[in-house]
């Protein structure tokens, strides 16, 4: 997949590629909404691999919305893009899946003065409580919410999901190396579920200085080619 990205500022990273693979485990189908789409990478990869997906996305930054639209067109993927703040999105339409690599740097982290990076990285722009409440109102009953987040905030995530009648049913922690603490967590939550949580085997990103074999396999499956440019 060919993906155009901004010459400078925020670009997608391995979090998005690993999340795409995690989403695919649940055989997505029906109406899907990619929240905070950026250049479109997660949603477009999922739609490419799953024929029964009807893809929509929401992105509030004009520059990213433009890149996402171009990437959908270049890769010949049907795409409905809402240029909007997710929290202000109309709630008349309900979705089977909502997927997201949201901004998750917490309040204690020194914030970038770059507006693009600030909006893409810091959860002050999409607080957990408001984020999850909006997701729960947009999901069909028993539908799926799949996202990644800062692993150190996992307790807060579970607490906030419970408040909105969603439950984490599949969880996988991502570790930079086998002897390092988890830096990322990927979560599959369901609206109205009463299932117990399934903790997957840990995902190890690196083996020494190289990507682990699992990470390499995911990148091969994604087959992304990124081009940084100014539009």
| CB atoms near residue 182 (< 10 Å) | 16
Count each helix (H run) and each strand (E run) in the chain, helices first. 7, 13
User: Is the pLDDT assigned to residue 126 strictly greater than 90?
Assistant: no
Q: Does domain 2-150+209-229 bear CATH number 3.40.50.150?
A: yes
pLDDT in tens, 37-92: 999 999 999 999 999 999 999 999 999 999 999 999 999 999 999 999 999 999 99
Give the separation between CA 29 and CA 2, rounded to whole angstroms. Answer: 23
Which of 20-34, 107-121, 154-168, 181-195 has the least mean pLDDT? Answer: 107-121
Contact 103, 112 (CB under 8 A): no
Angle at 171 between CA 122 and CA 51, to 5 degrees: 90
pLDDT in tens, 84-124: 999 999 999 999 999 999 986 555 544 445 544 444 455 56
Q: Which residues contact 228 (CB under 8 A, 6 or more apart)?
A: 4, 5, 6, 7, 11
Long-range (24+ apart) CB contacts under 8 A made by 115-122 are 116/6, 116/9, 116/10, 116/61, 116/63, 116/64, 117/9, 117/10, 119/60, 119/61, 120/10, 120/36, 120/38, 120/61, 120/64, 121/10
pLDDT in tens, 131-177: 999 999 999 999 999 999 999 999 999 999 999 999 999 999 999 99
The predicted pLDDT at position 111 comes to: 43
> Domain extents for the chain?
2-150+209-229
Closest CA to 229 of 11, 1, 80: 11
């Amino acid at each position: 997949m060919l993906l155009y990205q901004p010459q400078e500022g925020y670009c997608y990273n391995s979090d998005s590629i690993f999340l795409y693979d995690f989403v695919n485990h649940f055989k997505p189908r029906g109406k899907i909404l990619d929240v905070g789409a950026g250049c479109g990478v997660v949603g477009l990869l999922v739609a490419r691999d799953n024929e029964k997906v009807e893809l929509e996305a929401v992105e509030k930054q004009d520059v990213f919305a433009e890149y996402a639209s171009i990437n959908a067109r270049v890769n010949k993927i049907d795409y409905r893009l809402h240029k909007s703040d997710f929290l202000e999105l109309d709630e008349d339409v309900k979705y089977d899946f909502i997927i997201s690599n949201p901004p998750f740097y917490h309040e204690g982290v020194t914030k970038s003065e770059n507006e693009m990076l600030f909006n893409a990285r810091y959860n002050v722009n999409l607080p957990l409580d408001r984020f999850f409440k909006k997701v729960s109102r947009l999901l069909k009953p028993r539908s799926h919410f799949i996202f990644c987040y800062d692993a150190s905030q996992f307790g807060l995530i579970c607490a906030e999901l419970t408040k909105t009648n969603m439950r984490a049913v599949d969880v996988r922690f991502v570790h930079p190396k086998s002897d390092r603490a988890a830096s990322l967590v990927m979560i599959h939550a369901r609206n109205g579920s009463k299932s117990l949580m399934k903790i997957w085997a840990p995902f190890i990103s690196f083996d020494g200085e190289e990507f682990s074999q699992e990470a390499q396999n995911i990148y091969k499956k994604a087959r992304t080619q990124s081009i940084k440019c100014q539009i």
